[in-house]
Chain A
Amino acid sequence: MSDCGCRKGNEQAENDKNGGNSYLPWPARIEAISEENSQIKTFVLAFSGDKRQQDYRYLPGQFLMVSVPHCGEAPISISSTPTRPGSVHLSVRRAGLLTNAMHGLAVGDTVGLRGPYGRPFPLETFRGKDLLFVAGGIGLAPLRSVINHALDSEHDGRIEILYGSRSPEDIAFKADIATWEATPKVSCRLTVDVASPGWEGEVGVVTRLLPQVDLDPKTSVALVCGPPLMIRFVMAELSRMGYSDERIITTMERHMKCGLGACGHCHMDDRLVCVDGPVFSLAELRGRDVVELRDKP
């Protein structure tokens, strides 16, 4: 689909354990844990073996298959940026068996990782363009990787970030947001579904922030990630604002068991999200049977 696919292939081969059993995870130690909110924790992970950690390559938008003892595996986006080597970050929301077990782990514990998998964001096409990020809840995790990548690589356009949370207490990645707010060419707008005492910011769904955006749809790119319903409304609104389908980019969540394009679970019409995605432009989704685009999901 895009030329990123090939690069991913090489990186994956490089990272694969001896090019051998692609199902075998690599142990990684939890170096630090930060509590983003009551539901989300960011795990800072380092591979056992300095060489492997040093040689580890990935790109924003890719994900890892994470193993937790007795719980199997789950796909989790990498929320750190490759411009800050030495560790990978996974920001995990409690959702069920594995993610709850992971929240019970402590610094020094070990998880298993394999990957990176999936097609990353098309970073090379962002050069010289303004970037609009629209995220809901845990959806900021993969976008955090792109945002920090853009800042570290001195992105030559403006950056606007819109972030919706359920309540002020649910706002995740507060430390990052504080840094972004303090960065000159970045503007960051937050909204919550339900306010609590002391909240003076916006209230309402994240689409309500879109009219405040001061970017030209003809010269900027919009990156969207969040729950399916949010993706649908935001994409529709961006289209109305004049963003072309090629300039609206999202990342899809599907049930995944292998990450290798073999198990079939992540199918989305004729595509396998784990290898053809998870990053797609709206142009690539159009005409396909995709629940996020359907009027009645």
Chain B
Amino acid sequence: MAVLFSRPQSLTDTPFRYCPGCHHGLAHRLVAEALDELNLREKAVGIASVGCSVYTNEFFNCDTQQAAHGRAPAVATAVKRARPECFVFTYQGDGDLASIGMAETIHAAARGENISIIFINNACYGMTGGQMAPTTLPEQKTTTSPLGREAAREGNPVDMMKLLDALEGPAYLSRVVLTSPGKQAAAKKSILRAFRAQMKGLGFSLVEILSACPSNWRMTPVEALHYVDEVMAKYYPPGEVRVAKEVLEG
């Protein structure tokens, strides 16, 4: 028998704790496949953040540290500088990365820290029950924007790709969705490029994954899947934003 599809080595056997249809699981798989393909598992130190993915330390089959809310880029910065031979990645939600940890994110990017960030943008605070995030879309209803986000009241959303693209430090920036096998292939390519950027010592790399949170969006998993493509991806267009040419070489 030839196995065509099975669990990557870089995931433990522990079942995910995510809600049915949550894209965190899809993102985990792609990250783990990328670690497998580049033989990074044994060198990797993954930094978990605070959000629904707080347990990533139980799911990735490599050394891990769990950072305080928002501080993963600072923790990763130090781990990489402490052990340059390690492969260091963080896995962070949008509340974690773009709100409470905005300073850590921007400065790690500006310095061009040689780390890789997987950024799960689900347009809300999943873990705490679906409050508004910096990335919450205009008109999107959350438990703390019950009337729908309105610029005059709740303020405008943050587009991390645009922000980060203003900096010199990043070597690779890309936004992806995981809603179909074809789009997952593109996402995987982005993750591999981000990881290669670090392996080549090119500096900061980040992949933003537009990710469904069916529970807090009050949708079925299938509705949420379509919402990512039809609504979220319209506001936050997927695609590569920054590709240092050395990323593609060799």
Determine if chain A interacts with chain B: no
Write the residues of chain A forming the contact surface with B, with a CB cutoff of 8 angstroms. none
